[in-house]
């Protein structure tokens, strides 16, 4: 039974489903752990590269899982799964995979962008998915893990409540739960980033946007 690192353990704790698809399964460890723990009844691993496809096939052999060679959600049919995960990719890749087959995106999602998490949060905001949980996991760097549910009436008539009364732009960049109840370590990380960005000689629209958002968030902070 493969042991999950803290990042994938955090992902696994947010999944409970009948049939779950893991897009970009690579080693296949997440689905193997979910099946072993009884958190999912059946798994579908999807890979678009040969060696990761073979790795997933080996890990999931003999389990209630199928491994498919294909590109993102194109390898799924509509309504086939109740939930999916996409982990360990950049936010832009995650959003591209979701946008390429919008009719196959299930109602429950766990997304773990390695960077550009704001793109995933903006996609969810625009697509009617409400944040169910936001966790941070230690590892190579601080990973964010985002769990979403598709909002249904009457919730879908209002914007995601996770963002109510927050600076929307800052919440997209740094996470609505992190900025609503900022921990000391979160504020220290913001302060570190602020110092780093302030010293940069060349700024881009992205670094400017982050610096402005940090300044707004730190106005009342004593860190």
Ligand X SMILES: C[S@@+](CC[C@H](N)C(=O)[O-])C[C@H]1O[C@@H](n2cnc3c(N)ncnc32)[C@H](O)[C@@H]1O
67 token code pair: 């491994």
Closest CA to 95 of 56, 69, 123: 123
Among 14, 40, 87, 120, binds ligand X (CB under 6 A): 87
Using CB under 6 A as the binding rule, whether residue 48 contacts ligand X is answered as yes
Using CB under 6 A as the binding rule, whether residue 176 contacts ligand X is answered as no
From the CB of residue 220, how many other CB atoms can be counted at a distance below 10 Å? 7
Using CB under 6 A as the binding rule, whether residue 146 contacts ligand X is answered as no
Using CB under 6 A as the binding rule, whether residue 97 contacts ligand X is answered as yes
3-class state of residue 44 by DSSP: strand
From the CB of residue 192, how many other CB atoms can be counted at a distance below 10 Å? 11
Stretch that binds ligand X, among 42-50, 103-111, 167-175, 188-196 (CB under 6 A): 42-50
Using CB under 6 A as the binding rule, whether residue 88 contacts ligand X is answered as yes
The beta strand positions in 48-128, using DSSP E, are: 65-69, 83-89, 108-113
Using CB under 6 A as the binding rule, whether residue 105 contacts ligand X is answered as no
Question: How buried is residue 90: exposed, middle or buried, by Cβ count under 10 Å (0-12/13-18/19+)?
Answer: middle
For ligand X, which is the closer residue by CB, 26 or 160?
26
Least Cβ distance, residue 201 to ligand X (angstroms): 32
Q: Tell me if 36 sits within 8 A of 60, measured CB to CB.
A: no
Residues 1-40 that bind ligand X (CB under 6 A): 23-24, 26
For ligand X, which is the closer residue by CB, 52 or 106?
52
Among 89, 109, 144, 217, binds ligand X (CB under 6 A): 89
The beta strand positions in 121-198, using DSSP E, are: 129-137, 143-150
Which residues of this protein are in contact with ligand X, per CB under 6 A? 23-24, 26, 46-49, 52, 71-72, 87-89, 93, 97
């Amino acid at each position: 039974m493969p042991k999950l690192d803290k990042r994938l353990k955090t992902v696994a704790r947010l999944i409970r489903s009948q049939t779950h698809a893991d897009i970009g399964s690579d080693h296949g460890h997440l689905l193997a752990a979910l099946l072993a723990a009884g958190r999912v009844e059946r798994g579908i691993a999807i890979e678009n590269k040969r060696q990761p496809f073979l790795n997933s096939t080996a890990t999931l052999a003999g389990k209630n899982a199928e491994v498919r060679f294909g590109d993102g959600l194109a390898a799924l049919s509509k309504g086939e799964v109740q939930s999916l995960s996409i982990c360990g990719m950049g936010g832009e890749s995650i959003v591209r995979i979701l946008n390429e087959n919008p009719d196959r995106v299930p109602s429950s999602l766990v997304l773990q962008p390695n960077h550009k998490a704001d793109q995933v949060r903006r996609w969810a905001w625009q697509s009617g998915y409400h944040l169910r949980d936001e966790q941070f996991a230690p590892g190579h760097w601080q990973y964010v893990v985002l769990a979403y549910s598709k909002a249904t009436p009457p919730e879908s008539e209002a914007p995601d409540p996770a963002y109510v009364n927050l600076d929307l732009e800052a919440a997209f960049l740094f996470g609505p739960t992190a900025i609503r109840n900022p921990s000391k370590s979160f504020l220290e990380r913001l302060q570190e980033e602020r110092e780093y960005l302030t010293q940069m000689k060349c700024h881009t629209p992205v670094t400017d946007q982050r610096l402005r958002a940090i300044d707004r968030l730190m106005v009342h902070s004593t860190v």
